[in-house]
Amino acid sequence: MSEAEQRQAEPRVLARADHTISRAAMSPNALKVLYRLHGAGFLAYLVGGAVRDLLLGRKPKDFDIGTNARPQQVRQCFRNARIIGRRFRLVMVRFASEIVEVATFRRSPDPPEIEEGETADVLAPTPDADEYGTPEEDAWRRDFTVNGLFYDIADFSVIDHVGGLADLDAGVIRTIGPPRLRFDEDPVRMMRAVEYAARLGFRLDDELADATASMHSEIRRAAPARIAYELLESLKGGSALRIFRGLEEASLLGHIVPEAHEAAVGGNGTILWSLLAAADERYRKEEKLGEETLLALLFLPQFLAALQTAGDRLPRAGDIERLAREQLETAMLRLAISHYRGHIVRAGFLLLTRLMVPPRSGKHVLRTVRHEAFATAWQVMHLLAEVDGRYGSALVAWEQPVRQALEGRAHAIEGPKPGREGEARRRPRRGGRRHNRPKATGGA
Ligand code: ATP
Ligand code: MG
């Protein structure tokens, strides 16, 4: 069937009795929004990932809503609503525990805006009446068939304009429309395809895989902030190992994080995959890792390898600092990572090397714990020690004093003021910092 024929076909509609979506599995706030819009006479659909996840029996991350009400009309329905976005204005309805996003159906295939680090055209006009569209057009501008399903609050039916139900059953990620065209419009969709396939345990449709195989370098055209956003999403959700293996297989990783790609194809692949597996395990245990920690994992194998080339002793602090800066600077620019976040990752690496040898003194522990990058370094060190036993003993030596420091019991770890004995043990420094160089516990 051609796209034109496909688009003229009637949607497939599953009545309430013919699907498994239960309102009990939805966020009560999203339901409130749906009912309020419906009550005001508008179409009100649950859209996108939430419908997909509910049909698969998974817990949706968020509940996005589509409507034919214009943003102003949506806002008038709620006291706690705010319009955001430059081009396609979204309405955010704020509740105590969550924000529900309501978007007016639109026809433009443009990718959705990202609020943080937004790179949208500042001069773009405010929405034009003809940028809005019908529900069907709204389904067609979405990325993958499994992401193009609607749940209609009016009669609790599922509406499928794009063949998403069949692909959910078959376990296939397929673009809506020809993959080459859709990837040309927005190359970030190549990353998203790999993400969904990995997360849902689906396979990539053959035509989609072929398109990616020939177009992977086009990802370089994508706005850095959008790539960084997808990378973080990929690291966060508990499927990082599978997603990054998928990105590597699809030849995308080398363009977006060449540092991780080098690790994957060189001798450090094992450590990269083990770190990502360890991060996934934390997610399963509902132990939250910071975004800086997650980002750091992608660069850690290369950093460790560079440390190791310096021999069995850690390089001195100044050299480590230079190394971390050299390795991370271009990456942070390439991914438009904020200055502050880049600083935390870089400083986190410096602190990490401190944690690789037992603490020298209580003061040393306090200085380390009070550093703004400590939380990142501490999490990274735990993950590292988990995947490489050689870091275990140093970490053990830090555990108790760090706990004491964090509990505010500084006096317990500062120890006695150095008396004569203490002074006698101190060696005079010859050759500057060299003598302070701790012995490395071994690289990875
Ligand atoms: P997640 O569980 O990761 O939130 P999601 O499907 O909800 O999955 P979002 O990134 O939140 O994904 O996007 C919401 C919806 O917007 C998608 O389901 C899809 O329909 C549409 N969408 C998102 N990104 C694009 C894109 N680049 N091009 C076209 N449509 C997109
Ligand atoms: Mg979502």
> 188 C-alpha vs ligand 1 centroid, how far in Å?
11
Task: Give a three-class secondary structure readout of the chain.
Answer: CCHHHHHHCCCEEECHHHCCCCHHHCCHHHHHHHHHHHHCCCCEEEECHHHHHHHCCCCCCCCEEEECCCHHHHHHHCCCEEEECCCCCEEEEECCCCEEEEEECECCCCCCCCCCCCCCCCCCCCCCHHHECCHHHHHHCCCEHHHCEEEECCCCEEEECCCHHHHHHHCEECECCCHHHHHHHCCHHHHHHHHHHHHHCCEECHHHHHHHHHHHHHHHHCCHHHHHHHHHHHHHCCCHHHHHHHHHHCCCHHHHCHHHHHHHHCCCHHHHHHHHHHHHHHHHCCCCCCHHHHHHHHHHHHHHHHHHHCCCECCCHHHHHHHHHHHHHHHHHHCCCCHHHHHHHHHHHHHHHHHCCCCCCHHHHHHHHCCCCHHHHHHHHHHHHHHCHHHHHHHHHHHHHHHHHHCCCHHHHHCCCCCHHHHHHCCCCCCHHHHHCCECCCCC
- Domains, the chain, with CATH or none: 1-169 (3.30.460.10), 171-256 (1.10.110.30), 291-414 (1.10.3090.10)
Pairing of β 90-94 and β 81-84: antiparallel
Note whether 167 and 174 are within 8 A (CB): yes
**For ligand 1, is residue 182 a contact (CB within 6 Å)?**
no
**Would you call 317 exposed, middle or buried from its count of C-beta atoms within 10 A (0-12, 13-18, 19+)?**
middle
The least confident of 78-92, 228-242, 260-274, 345-359 is: 78-92
Give the ligand at the shortest distance from the Cα of 229.
1
The tens digit of pLDDT for each residue in 136-157 reads 999 999 999 999 999 999 999 9
Question: Is 160 among the residues known to form the active site?
Answer: no
**For ligand 1, is residue 48 a contact (CB within 6 Å)?**
yes
Q: Confidence band (pLDDT; 50, 70, 90) for 318?
A: confident
Q: Confidence band (pLDDT; 50, 70, 90) for 16?
A: very high
Q: Which atom of ligand 1 is nearest to the CA of 52?
A: 6
The least confident of 192-201, 336-345, 434-443 is: 434-443
Q: Which atom of ligand 1 is nearest to the CA of 60?
A: 2
**Using CA atoms, how far apart are residues 81 and 76, in angstroms rounded to an integer?**
8
Other Cβ atoms closer than 10 A to 293: 25
The tens digit of pLDDT for each residue in 384-435 reads 999 999 999 999 999 999 999 988 866 666 654 444 433 334 444 444 343 3
**For ligand 1, is residue 199 a contact (CB within 6 Å)?**
no
**For ligand 1, is residue 127 a contact (CB within 6 Å)?**
no
Minimal-distance CA residue to ligand 1 atom 12: 49
**1 compared with 270, residue with greater pLDDT:** 270
Q: Confidence band (pLDDT; 50, 70, 90) for 326?
A: confident
Minimal-distance CA residue to ligand 1 atom 7: 49
pTM as predicted = 0.87
Question: Is 152 among the residues known to form the active site?
Answer: no
Residue 62 has pLDDT above 70, yes or no: yes
Question: Is 62 among the residues known to form the active site?
Answer: yes
**Using CA atoms, how far apart are residues 437 and 244, in angstroms rounded to an integer?**
36
**For ligand 1, is residue 142 a contact (CB within 6 Å)?**
yes
> 56 C-alpha vs ligand 2 centroid, how far in Å?
15
- Round to the nearest angstrom and report the end-to-end CA distance of the chain: 53
**For ligand 1, is residue 186 a contact (CB within 6 Å)?**
yes
pLDDT at 180: 98
**For ligand 1, is residue 91 a contact (CB within 6 Å)?**
no
Minimal-distance CA residue to ligand 1 atom 30: 142
Among residues 53, 138, 143, 152, the one annotated as catalytic is 143
The mean per-residue pLDDT over the stretch 247-254 comes to 98
Minimal-distance CA residue to ligand 1 atom 10: 49
